[in-house]
Amino acid sequence: MKNLLVPLAGFAHDKNALEAAFLLGWPLDAAIEALHVQPEPMKIVLSAAAHQFGTSYSNRELLAELQKQAAAHSAKAKEGFELFHKQHLAAHAFASAQSGVSAVFRCMEGDPVPDVTSAARFHDLVVMARAPQNAPFSTEQIAMMLVGCGRPMLLTPEKTPDAIGNTIAIAWKEKAEAARAVTAAMPLLKRAKKVIVLSVEEHANQAAACSASAEHLASQLARHGMNVEARGLVAKSNAGADVLVESAKQSGADLIVSGAYSHSRMRELMFGGFTRRLLAACDVPVMLLH
């Protein structure tokens, strides 16, 4: 994982994503690209048209206000990156040069979701912070990028931990998405001090098979020299994510690795789902891959 992409929205939570990228990037000698996509004029015009009803602004006034907000968020994104760079890289230039970690800021005009999705395909990992409701990159937009980019994505909690990847919990299920996530996370798994394979089953009569599957993966990972253990967990229907996250936290995990959307996004939207729970809220960093 030598190339990390950090999409910036120009909001306070950008700091969480930058800090997480640095924690991961430092030991891996990674290059961090902080990318801010300012909505292009046509996107601002369309947004103005969508918001014109129920406001006292004229079309021209609303457009001017939205352009002003977009410019302010771009300035905030750059300001936040420069502060991060000063604190972590410029202030420790020699150490940064020795480790090989670097960071650059790029700003472009475009359509944030598809442009970040496209940029992500040229990076090894995307690092994002969960956004408040009024900010760009909502949970649904993050889901679109996760499904579309073909790269793993790390979501940070509100409070950035002191370390990421010392103890890693794998959310294991015998699905292609979970297997791909384990493969993508191998650079981090090999560096971890401890790896815990957690497999959750919502049907008690299948608990033994669930545990056996977790043990099987653990034995495979142990051949890579990892300190690994396996646990089978049983949960009530639709509570699998909560049980797994709680077990990971109790084990001291500072990162959860999981496949994403083994069921369709529409099904998860209608009935709830594991991925949706991890996207919406989790106070442990989560690395997801569809």
Q: What is the CATH number of domain 167-289?
A: 3.40.50.620
Does the global pTM surpass 0.85? yes
What pLDDT is recorded for position 272? 46
> Would you place residue 264 in the very low, low, confident or very high pLDDT band (cuts 50, 70, 90)?
low
The answer to whether residues 70 and 39 touch, using CB atoms and an 8 Å cutoff, is yes
Backbone angles phi, psi at 34, to 5 degrees: -95, 120
Contact 278, 255 (CB under 8 A): no
Q: Up-side HSE of residue 241: CA atoms within 13 Å toward CB?
A: 21
In the chain, the amino acid numbered 259 is G
Mean pLDDT of the chain: 86
Cα 144 versus chain centre, distance: 12
**What was the pLDDT predicted at 206?**
75
Indicate if the pLDDT at residue 53 is higher than 60.
Answer: no
pLDDT beyond 70 at 276: yes
User: Does residue 9 contact residue 77 with C-beta atoms inside 8 Å?
Assistant: yes
Measured distance CA(7)–CA(282) in Å, rounded = 19
CB 11 within 8 A of CB 39: no
Does this chain's domain 3-156 share its CATH topology with 167-289? yes
Q: What is the mean pLDDT of residues 252-274?
A: 71
User: Can you give the residue ranges of every domain in the chain?
Assistant: 3-156, 167-289
Specify the pLDDT at position 271.
36
Token pair recorded at residue 236: 């009530």
Please give the CATH number for the structural domain made up of 3-156. 3.40.50.620
Highest mean pLDDT among 61-65, 191-195, 240-244: 191-195
The predicted structure's pLDDT at residue 41 = 67
Q: Would you call 134 exposed, middle or buried from its count of C-beta atoms within 10 A (0-12, 13-18, 19+)?
A: exposed
pLDDT tens digits, 61-96: 777 777 888 899 999 999 999 999 999 887 666 555
The residue with greater pLDDT, 108 or 67, is: 108
- Supply the pLDDT for residue 279: 82
Model pLDDT, residue 151: 96
Q: How many residues comprise the chain?
A: 290
Which pLDDT belongs to residue 208?
Answer: 87
Q: What is the pLDDT of residue 241?
A: 87
Stretch 189-216: mean pLDDT: 89
pLDDT band, residue 267 (cuts 50/70/90): very low
Q: Which two tokens stand for residue 190?
A: 């090999």
Q: What are the residue ranges of helices labelled H in the chain? A: 14-28, 41-51, 59-85, 93-99, 112-120, 139-149, 176-184, 186-189, 207-222, 240-250, 265-271, 274-280
**Residue of higher predicted confidence among 149 and 55:** 149
Kindly state the DSSP code that residue 89 receives in the 8-state scheme: I
Query: What is the tens place of the pLDDT at every residue in 166-178?
Result: 999 999 998 999 9
3-state secondary structure of 32: strand
Give per-residue pLDDT as tens, 140-190: 889 899 999 999 999 998 888 889 999 999 999 989 999 999 999 999 999
Burial class of residue 239, CB neighbours in 10 A (0-12, 13-18, 19+): middle
Determine the Cα–Cα distance for residues 234 and 206; give it in Å rounded to an integer: 9
Sheet of strand 3-7, all strands in order from the earlier edge strand to the far edge: 102-110, 31-39, 3-7, 125-129, 153-156, 286-289, 255-259, 167-171, 194-201, 228-234
